[in-house]
Structure 1
Amino acid sequence: MMVAGRTAGKAQTLARKWGGRAGGFREVAEFADIALVAVLYQGMPATLAEIGDALRGKPLIDCNNPVEIERFTLVTEPGRSMAQDIGQATGGHVVKAFNLCHARVWQMDPPVFDGRRLVVPYCGDHSAANDMTRQLITDIGGEPLSIGGLQHALHLEGMAAIVISLLFGGRDPHTVFNLVDGAPVTASR
């Protein structure tokens, strides 16, 4: 496993934690059998420029959300997803997944709520990349839910704008959609 990041020290720390090594974005992309790109939308153009075509033909999971936090709207061109832009820039087989939960949810082992596994929607156009993503979702304890081709990434990104606005509004990351009699439920942890 290899990890890249805009801050080399953070990438090295994370790589050590996961039993891997750190490298530059292009080096990691060339090494990868499958890549997960997680970059703030403001840094995406520079990251993609550094990666270049090193992910061409490889499975690439996009968990990013191109959402500005003033009005909680998408910053991408209308009708186009960041996932599609990443695919066009890299030539990778992009699957949109893992973008609808707060980081604290992904720290759960496994992510289970009221005895049910977390449902993780994903979408992509390449069957092998979809299969690898589905397996990864299962491996972390989630329930994979295919919502179709990559054209649906726009809908996952739009839903993320709503989730992010709720989180900024103070909703608990573990129970963002839980309602009892129409009122939000908050959890203490």
Structure 2
Amino acid sequence: MRIGILGNGLMAEALGGQWVRAGHEVMIGGRSLDRAAEVAKRVGAAAGSLEEAAAYGEVVLLAVPAEVAVEVAALVPAGSTLIDCTNSIDHRDFTLAQPRTAELIAAAVPGVQVVKAFNSAADLVWSDPPAGLGVPMCGDGDLELVAELVRDLGCEPVYAGGLRRATLLEATAVLAIGIWVGGGDVRGMFPPLARAFGSVSPDQP
């Protein structure tokens, strides 16, 4: 699979490196061509501008600061699948600085399938993810391309609903980050399904 990555930071390097090792063709794109080339060399990918990376792959990873995500996403051509891994965080109180980021991105790129994924953990996790880690994904339509990229990391895709639910995924990530920063541990927050809901099936109203 050909994957274009918009951004040349730590998330781009972590996920790009994993996908190169899985056998995909990856291009790292950035406003600074020198910085993009440095990251690409470390992970064994090609390098280019943001425009070149946006046009490179059938799947594009948006790995830029959330405040410029909508602007940069507008470079992605129709017919692509765009993965939004951004989190819009107000670091003063660890709340959402901009709710509904994924939906705003989708509105800016008609004809592009936007999927919220990989925003639930930091770059260090994606550099060496634990086997079987669940990766929530929110999006409309067929999410199999993104699910394949999740599995290539040794992780498990978790279908979390349509794009309207992406703001819940964004809020969950920001909540978890705030707990971690405060010294808490979120790993034990979710009990097994049977204990959480008793005998109620997830399909029941």
TM-score > 0.5, shorter chain as reference:
yes
Give runs of aligned pairs for residues 59-78 of structure 1, distance below 5 A: 59-76=81-98
Alignment counterpart, residue 113 of structure 2, candidates 84, 88, 93: 93
**CA distance change for structure 1 residues 169 and 5 in 2, over 3 Å: closer, same or farther?**
farther
Q: Are 2:168 and 1:155 equivalent residues in the alignment?
A: yes
> Hey, what does 1:185 align to over in structure 2?
none
Root mean square deviation of aligned Cα: 1.9
Count of aligned pairs between the two proteins:
163
Task: Give the 3-state SS of the residue equivalent to 1:76 in structure 2.
Answer: coil
Q: Deviations over 1:10-42 (max 9, x none)?
A: 311221223222111111111111000011112
- Of the three residues 75, 79, 82, the one matched with 2:101 is 82
Distance, in Å, in 2 between the alignment partners of 1:170 and 1:11 is 34
TM-score of the pair, normalised by structure 2: 0.73
Q: Which of 161, 166, 179 is residue 166 of structure 1 equivalent to?
A: 179
Gap runs ≥5 in structure 1: 181-189
Structure 2 unaligned segments of length 5 or more: list them: 1-25, 190-205
Letter of the structure 2 residue corresponding to residue 93 of structure 1: Q
1:27 aligned to 2:52?
yes
TM-score, normalised via structure 1 length: 0.78
Q: Deviations over 1:49-90 (max 9, x none)?
A: 5x2xx332211111111111111111225xxx1111111112
- Which residue number in structure 1 is paired with residue 140 of structure 2? 125
Deviations 1:114-168 (A, max 9, x none): xxx11111011021xx100111111110011101111110100010111221232
Matched, 1:143 2:143: no
> Which letter maps to 1:86?
I
- Take 1:142 and 1:85, find their aligned partners in 2: how far apart are those partners? 28
Match of 2:27 in 1: 2
- The corresponding residue for 2:122 is 102
Q: What percent identity do the matched residue pairs reach? A: 35
- CA gap of 1:16–1:99, structure 2 versus 1, over 3 A, is same
